[in-house]
Structure 1
Amino acid sequence: MNSQQHWPLISVYMPTYNRVVMACRAIDSVLVQDYPNIELLVVDDASTDDTWRVLNERYGQNSRVRLFRQPEGRGACAARNRAINEAQGEFVTGIDDDDEFLPHRLSSLYRAYDPQYSCVCSGYIWHYGNVQKTLFSRDETVSLSSLLDLHTLSNQALVSRERMLQLHGFDEGLAAFQDYDMWVRVVAAFGPARRISDASYQVNVGHELGRITNSPKRLDAHKQFVAKHRSLMSERNLQNQMFYRLMMEKQPLSLLELLRQCRFGLASLKWRYYLKQKLSWLSGIRLKFFSKGLAGLFKK
């Protein structure tokens, strides 16, 4: 990179709890970024294992890493908010402790940043352990209306820290959909977001330790999310949110209902769900192959 160019400080926030091996992998992926001016704020949400000790031993002397520990477990959103409040960067973005940055992630997001957009995000890689696929790998300006149809901004975005502070950060009262809620509020307040096609964030879903974003109260949280943003939603948005709920509940979908739902857009998503329900046995084999490989298909 051009050493003469000004590279504003980017603060990366990361909550973690009881999975230090994956947390170290995530931290290392941030520290090898080709963007030259970063700080990483790791907040241990009162882990009960050796996370705090290992983090301090491994990163305590690294000037780019700042470690914090919550006195009691308050959840990932409280940890993120603490990091954002402590951050010193002009921009902030996040990483979950079981995910990874590709080495050029921060530089590609910064180059794409334009203050006319509320935030910038990218396509991402969904890594199943044996197979991976890339999602939302298309350049797009994401309006509030399209965002309320479907969460297409990914979990993480680069945004001005000041904008996050103005909106008081993540909603700690939501059990799930906290990132979706955050970007809806950002877009509603500051205008459309930009998504770039370059997939530079890897979501690791092949491990057996539940993701932070998974919650047994997910359906209740979705109901809360819809109620919170109902005044912003058109009838199309509301119908698409109800379809998303139907998918979460794995409800069957008749052909007649599918055709009715397609009137509100997202036709390819809805057709895929319909076919998945009709060929559920095949879907199970596909997921097992993605996570375990060909050999895994023959293991009980």
Structure 2
Amino acid sequence: MNKQQAKPLISVYMPTFNRVDMAIRAIESVLAQDYPYFELIVVDDASTDDSWSRLTNRYINEERVRFFRQPQGMGACAARNRAIEQAKGEFVTGLDDDDEFLPHRLSSLYAAYDDQYSCVSSSYIWDYGSVRKTLFNYPEVVTLTALLDLHSMSNQALVKRDRMIALQGFDTALAAFQDYDMWVRVVQGFGPALRIADASYKVNVGHELGRITDSPKRLDAHKQFVAKHRAHMSERNLQNQMFYRLMMQKQPLSLAQWLHYCRSGLVTLKSRYYFKQKLAWLSRMRIRLLNKGISGMFKK
């Protein structure tokens, strides 16, 4: 693509359900983009509160935002797929209704885009309210093998719309890991992805309302994800998926288990988890000390 030519339209898809104040914050973060050629498609997944009326009334004169409403609750993936079907842009990218774009989100992703890659993602920020941390803040060409080891692309990427359409969008049969599954299929179908180090997406995890991606059947969904992609997984991939499952269950590791899992790579991640589990008692003691003082440490 010749970057000297007119820049293309980017369609941003956003599902929402019963989180109107957060949705407004998310919408405003898109409207604040320094990349001028975008549209935002918001799909209300049959909210039961006043989300639909508040959002449509607030943005009635905003031509860059289009709203659709599902006839019944069908889940975030179905809402995303509907938005992608309605999109007019050459490229699409997503935003969850409780998250935010930094102002340079679209411009930084587009500047990094190259047709040799299937899509472009970025480093991202986890915001706990009082504490923030940036994940994957280094550039990487993400191959299928690496992606099946670890989901290192964040939950959103910039991709050509026709590629998403060709892959029939997000898998609505998965209760969780839908974004992971999507980027695995994109990389499998169109080649390695590029992740840039510039963090431009903020994941807000400090609020009390559950995230759209939360699911009580997360372990079952992970099993379903592994089964779906098993044919493309090496023994190393399977070992790393087993380790991830162990992390989800917050199971402690023995020294022998830690050494065993480290043979499959991701040593830093596994070591951090191992020592965190081993030092958990120190963390509990510290909290008790802060709460009760030294004399209270020895009282039942």
Scaled to the shorter chain, the TM-score interval is over 0.9
- Report the CA distance shift for 1:88/1:282 in structure 2 as closer, same or farther (over 3 A): farther
Confirm whether residue 274 of structure 1 aligns to residue 277 of structure 2: no
- Counterpart mapping for 1:224-243 below 5 A: 224-243=224-243
Distance 2:264 2:200 in 1: 31
Partner residue of 1:291?
A: none
Distance 2:62 2:120 in 1: 28
For the 8 Å contact 1:7–1:36, the answer to whether it is kept is no
Distance 2:251 2:138 in 1: 30
- Counterpart mapping for 1:133-148 below 5 A: 133-148=133-148
- Report the CA distance shift for 1:145/1:285 in structure 2 as closer, same or farther (over 3 A): farther
Q: Deviations over 1:201-243 (max 9, x none)?
A: 0000000001111100000000000000000000000000000
- Report the CA distance shift for 1:268/1:283 in structure 2 as closer, same or farther (over 3 A): farther
Partner residue of 1:199?
A: 199
Q: Which moved more, 1:268-277 or 1:193-202?
A: 268-277
Secondary structure (helix, strand or coil) at the match of 1:202 reads strand
Shift of 1:61: 1.9
- Report the CA distance shift for 1:273/1:38 in structure 2 as closer, same or farther (over 3 A): same
- Counterpart mapping for 1:91-170 below 5 A: 91-170=91-170
Partner residue of 2:56?
A: 56
Shift of 1:284: 6.9
Partner residue of 2:186?
A: 186
Secondary structure (helix, strand or coil) at the match of 1:67 reads strand
> Which residue identity does 1:274 align to in structure 2?
Y
Distance 1:39 1:232 in 2: 36
- Report the CA distance shift for 1:19/1:298 in structure 2 as closer, same or farther (over 3 A): farther
Secondary structure (helix, strand or coil) at the match of 2:169 reads coil
Distance 1:214 1:161 in 2: 26
Distance 2:124 2:106 in 1: 13
> Which residue identity does 2:97 align to in structure 1?
D
Q: TM-score, normalised by structure 1?
A: 0.93
- Report the CA distance shift for 1:126/1:283 in structure 2 as closer, same or farther (over 3 A): farther
Partner residue of 1:251?
A: 251
Distance 1:131 1:250 in 2: 22
Secondary structure (helix, strand or coil) at the match of 2:197 reads strand
Secondary structure (helix, strand or coil) at the match of 2:134 reads strand
Q: Deviations over 1:27-64 (max 9, x none)?
A: 00000100010000000000000000110111122100
> Which residue identity does 1:17 align to in structure 2?
F
> Which residue identity does 1:279 align to in structure 2?
L
Partner residue of 1:47?
A: 47
For the 8 Å contact 1:60–1:67, the answer to whether it is kept is no
Superposition misfits of 4+ residues, deviation over 4 angstroms: 281-286
Distance 2:197 2:80 in 1: 26
Distance 1:262 1:92 in 2: 37
> Which residue identity does 1:209 align to in structure 2?
L
Distance 1:153 1:277 in 2: 26
Q: TM-score, normalised by structure 2?
A: 0.93
Distance 2:60 2:240 in 1: 46
Distance 1:284 1:177 in 2: 31
> Which residue identity does 2:89 align to in structure 1?
G
For the 8 Å contact 1:122–1:198, the answer to whether it is kept is yes
- Report the CA distance shift for 1:298/1:89 in structure 2 as closer, same or farther (over 3 A): farther
Shift of 1:285: 9.4
Shift of 1:275: 1.2
> Which residue identity does 1:108 align to in structure 2?
S
Distance 1:84 1:187 in 2: 18
Between structure 1 and structure 2, the one with the greater Rg is 2
> Which residue identity does 1:55 align to in structure 2?
L
Secondary structure (helix, strand or coil) at the match of 2:268 reads helix
> Which residue identity does 1:268 align to in structure 2?
T
Distance 2:283 2:30 in 1: 34
Shift of 1:279: 2.1
Partner residue of 1:65?
A: 65
Secondary structure (helix, strand or coil) at the match of 2:107 reads helix
> Which residue identity does 2:8 align to in structure 1?
P
> Which residue identity does 1:95 align to in structure 2?
L
Distance 2:147 2:39 in 1: 30
Unaligned runs of 5+ in 2: 293-300
Distance 1:79 1:192 in 2: 27
Unaligned runs of 5+ in 1: 289-296
Distance 1:15 1:89 in 2: 17
Partner residue of 2:176?
A: 176
